[in-house]
């Protein structure tokens, strides 16, 4: 049997690393605990995951919607993890789809005869500054698709407020159960893995969920293509 202190270290480490897949901290901890337990109710899982019981239900429903767990319909609800190998297959399938789309974009650029105008950054502070720059430069629209949009409130509250004061229309496409940004249009979409940003239909950026790296372009064709893609299957959330 694994010592309690070792499990606590594993919980903390894996919980943090699962953030790369777009899982917020409590959801990541809930999934790790659920895998270790095999099944359980909200109270048991929250206690094992060392998260507040009041946050346990929201975290578990979040991983159910993202395909990391399943639940029964009885009372109390019992949750079971989707096996890690099945989650891995799903992640690989999504990554394959992303790179297939990238290959397609590369081909379309080549056919138009335009020069390559895609740039990359691999430092979190530089990625944050690039997003800040894009927000500050936006004049009409700022569209962002991300598994979690809490970082917008945490890192860019002033930039969002200033953009809205300039009458910039902000649209957020995010996972179910995310809290909305005040004054922004909100859409829900399942299976989000990366952070996608389009500004004024002219500039586009794709970043890792932890903001460790990004690629960006000022190519209008690519920006338009990305905006159409991220809006597909997105469901508008009523402000009322």
Nearest-10 crossing angle of helices 53-65, 25-37: 80
- pLDDT digit string, tens, across residues 142-177: 999 998 898 998 999 999 999 999 999 999 999 888
Crossing angle for the helix pair 220-231 and 84-112, to the nearest 10 degrees = 150
For the segment 197-218, the average pLDDT, to the nearest whole number, is 91
The pTM score is 0.57
Environment class of 134 (CB within 10 Å of its CB; exposed 0-12, middle 13-18, buried 19+): buried
Q: Which domains does the chain have, with CATH numbers?
A: 4-82 (1.10.10.10), 117-237 (3.30.870.10)
SS3 assignment, position 187: strand
Cα–Cα distance, 18 to 2 (Å, whole number):
21
pLDDT digits (tens, 9 = 90+) for 65-97: 888 999 988 788 999 999 999 988 888 887 777
């Amino acid at each position: 049997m694994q010592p309690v202190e070792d499990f606590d270290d594993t919980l903390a480490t894996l919980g943090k690393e699962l953030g790369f897949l777009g899982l917020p901290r409590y959801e990541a901890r809930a999934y790790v605990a659920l895998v270790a337990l095999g099944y359980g109710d909200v109270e048991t899982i929250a206690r094992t995951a060392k998260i507040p019981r009041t946050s346990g239900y929201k975290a578990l429903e979040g991983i159910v919607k993202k395909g990391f767990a399943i639940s029964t319909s009885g009372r109390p609800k019992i949750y079971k993890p989707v096996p890690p190998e099945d989650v891995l297959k799903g992640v690989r399938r999504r990554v394959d789809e992303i790179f297939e789309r990238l290959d397609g974009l590369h081909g379309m650029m080549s056919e138009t005869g335009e020069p390559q105008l895609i740039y990359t950054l691999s430092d979190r502070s530089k990625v944050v500054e690039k997003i800040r720059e894009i927000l500050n430069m936006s004049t009409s629209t700022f569209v962002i698709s991300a598994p979690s949009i809490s970082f917008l409130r945490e890192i860019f509250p002033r930039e969002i407020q200033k953009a809205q004061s300039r009458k910039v229309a902000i649209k957020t496409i995010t996972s179910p159960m995310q809290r909305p940004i005040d004054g922004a249009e909100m859409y829900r979409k399942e299976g989000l893995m990366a952070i996608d940003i389009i500004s004024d239909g002219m500039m586009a950026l794709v970043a890792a969920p932890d903001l460790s790296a990004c690629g960006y372009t000022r190519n209008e064709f690519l920006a338009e293509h990305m905006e159409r893609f991220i809006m597909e299957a997105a469901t508008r959330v009523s402000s009322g």
